[in-house]
Structure 1
């Protein structure tokens, strides 16, 4: 009887361990309000809160690791991390390399500049535009605007100008959580958790925290 009790206890610990599996998320924490580091050097933002809520719902532990944006997909392919959440557009090119969760945020792109400087992208011809390496925005600019004289440089302060750019060829159908190709078990857990937090109102609370005005 004692051995049976010990076996049951051991099985219980093993079950708890499986449920508490750690999911290592890679992100690029310079894109507020989606992901950023606060004054305590802790991860914050819409994507971070969303991932934490999904992990809680799915009974998973999660951790976050800061990486350059253009290294996120390679990091998944080489299995350095389990998933990437970084306001990443789901595009056909990326979907050839990694698998994506269901869409969790419908996206469009915008040009940004100091308030009152420009009215729209046509005014930016022969001007400098900041763009992140490896992003959909970079691909869009290279294919559509670089030939017209745009140059790219880093930027800091900005506000939105012009109308949103919604070209699905570059910006896909929205943001998704990326996982390594073929990791269907994790993908199923993430999608299930995402669906459940949408159903129970948690997603809306997180969305309102960052985007309701």
Structure 2
């Protein structure tokens, strides 16, 4: 695992007091623009900006750790971290193991592929027919694994640790399609225009796919009511004063606030 300690929040936020308590946060920095690692080895992205703003608001110091997505929840349960923050959707299933903050974001998902091989698809039934028997990539332990399994049971689901591995297998033809958040398709497509990544079918939202969860929140260890209350208060303030909306515009170009 790669560990980075971020002692300073964004310049627009309050300066942390000397000796501020450390808040251990884990993320899987392979899902731009939510979180990624730049050429200098620094983690950055929407979640990093929001997480640092929360830490500054509650006067704590963020200590970020980068590890595989499928290990985030077990590590939180084991007490390795205080929080996990990695575009994690709030679902009833996950609530059995961990607590969540209030939602700080909400984002639709979509199927995607290379080029126009799937053509125009206007509704869910057409999407189900198009995906029948096709190899579909999803990030392991993500909500998309369950969405595909329950709504597209005739698809051949392949799981990956990292989103960039999904893109790599799309480009080599090992899978026919994949499911990710719209923002991730936009980011990967913009970074590799020659790949001709294309979303297809109607957007997938909570209204039709409840497995997508009730917004995106921070995972918190079970029973840590005091920390949850402080974080919830900070999120409410950052939503009210426009801080999260500004970070959203910076990283997505549109508003993902709930």
Choose the corresponding residue for 2:203, options 125, 144, 164. Answer: 164
Q: Which residue of 2 aligns with 1:174?
A: 215
| Superposition RMSD in Å | 1.8
Return the TM-score normalized by structure 2: 0.71
Post-superposition offset of 1:42 = 0.9
| Stretch moving more, 58-67 or 157-166 | 157-166
Mapped pair 1:135 → 2:142: yes
Q: Is the contact between residue 25 and residue 84 of structure 2 (CA under 8 Å) also seen in structure 1?
A: yes
> Matches of 1:48 and 1:108 in 2, distance apart?
20
Q: Which residue of 2 aligns with 1:10?
A: none
Q: Which residue of 1 aligns with 2:35?
A: 35
Larger Rg over CA atoms: 1
Q: Which runs of 5+ in 2 are unaligned?
A: 1-16, 122-126, 160-164, 168-194
Aligned length: 196
Q: Which runs of 5+ in 1 are unaligned?
A: 1-14
Runs of 4+ in 1 over 3 A off after TM superposition: 119-122
Post-superposition offset of 1:143 = 2.2
| Stretch moving more, 20-29 or 195-204 | 195-204
Paired residue secondary structure (1:181): coil
**Higher helix proportion:** 1
Return the TM-score normalized by structure 1: 0.85
* Distance change in 2, residues 1:46/1:159 (3 Å): farther
> Matches of 2:104 and 2:79 in 1, distance apart?
23
> Matches of 1:159 and 1:22 in 2, distance apart?
42
Q: Which residue of 1 aligns with 2:244?
A: 203
